[in-house]
Amino acid sequence: MKNQITNAISDFFFEYETPRQVLVRNRRVGVVCRIIQLGVLAYIIGWVFIYEKGYQSTDIAVGSVFTKMKGVGYSSMNGTERIWDVADYVFPSQGDASFVVMTNYIITEGQKMGKCPELHGKHNCSSSADCEGGSFKRQMTGECVNETKTCQVLAWCPVEDDLVIPDPPMLMSAENYTLFIKNSVTFPLFGVSRSNLVEGIDAGYISKCLYHPESAPLCPIFRLGDIVKQSGFNFETIATVGGAIGIVVDWTCNFDVAVTHCKPKYTFHGLYGNPAETDKARASVGYNFRYAKHYMEDKIQKRTLLKVFGIRFDIIVQSLARKFDIIPTLTAIGSGVGIFGVATVVCDLVLLYLLPKRAFYKNMKFKYTDTHTQK
């Protein structure tokens, strides 16, 4: 009994078992096997390693964006000339990655809180009985003003008249404003930090450059008219009613080469609408909001109301960095070697179940033994 246990332990530790292999000379099965193996090899090399770059690890950057607008606008309405600088036409003014540049406006000056008639065409009335109810945007007093045949409202008076949007836009000069973008990114996994002010982009270059996709693709200063054109819109059209444009800063980097090759690429896209769409096809056209400047006059609080039509800019940073790593490389190779087993499985199925001589091949592949009772 002791010898049997010793022999079993010895066999377990000091013997090696290998599967039995049968060499089958069959053209059809051989061709099927090689085709499958070539397909697997093409998948591993072409898709996993070349296209998906399975030999590299990846990382996404953590970044920040700072913006600065420059330019002076001019407008003239009813003989009143106005000069608009950055503090007037940029909302908000802190240099965020998302901001609005005013290109058109409707101004209502000298408003004060009180009672006044509603605009003609809104809440028309023939008697005070028509001015009852609480389902309207403005609070009505319940009286009908005979001069205008509209309901009297409690509001900032005179009420805003925004039925007619100025066309051409009041600030067409916004086309020549410039936008400076400063962006920095850090790839924590690789310990690499980059800025869009890459090598060669110094103060002297910035002072005279202007972005162009071919001649100056790394210049961080952009003309608004060029941004709108690159996004596919017409500047006068989008300036009249407003719109939204996304500026994408793309950092796609390969750190298997020098870090200096990691540079940003700028693209521009229209948001919340397609330039090819007509106004009738869209549910909501343009981009606008209201902005009020309050002041005191003769101890009476007043305000100047602006309905601002502008272009909203959203700066979007997208990134993907890659670098060689032995772990994903071995993982990709190991999975590829495992997929090679598909050829063996398919060929075994053909041999054992589809070919006319399947019984012969089955006998060659499997070895059968009978169970004998030892005496």
Which residues are annotated as part of the binding site?
Answer: 68-70, 178, 288-290, 307
**Amino acid residing at 76:** S
Among 260, 118, 235, 258, which residue's Cα sits nearest to residue 173?
235
Please count the residues of the chain: 375
DSSP annotation of 248: E
For residue 274, which phi and psi values (nearest 5 degrees)? -115, 135
Rounded distance between C-alpha atoms, residue 56 and residue 323, angstroms: 5
The answer to whether the Cα torsion of 141, 147, 150, 156 is positive or negative is: negative
Decide if 72 contacts 375 (C-beta within 8 A).
no
Tracing tokens 């000379």 back to the chain, one arrives at 25
Rounded distance between C-alpha atoms, residue 136 and residue 150, angstroms: 13
**116: how many CB neighbours lie within 10 A of its CB?**
19
| 3-state DSSP assignment of residue 147 | coil
Helices 326-353 and 358-365: crossing angle, nearest 10°? Answer: 130
According to DSSP, the β-strands at 90-91 and 288-297 are unpaired
Burial of 127 (C-beta count, 10 Å sphere; 0-12/13-18/19+): exposed
| 3-state DSSP assignment of residue 277 | coil
Return all residues near 11 (Cβ < 8 A) that are at least 6 apart. Answer: none
According to DSSP, the β-strands at 243-254 and 300-324 are parallel
Rounded distance between C-alpha atoms, residue 295 and residue 112, angstroms: 10
Q: Please give the annotated binding residues for ATP, written as ranges.
A: 68-70, 178, 288-290, 307
DSSP 127-150: SGGGG--S-SSSEEEEEEETTTTE
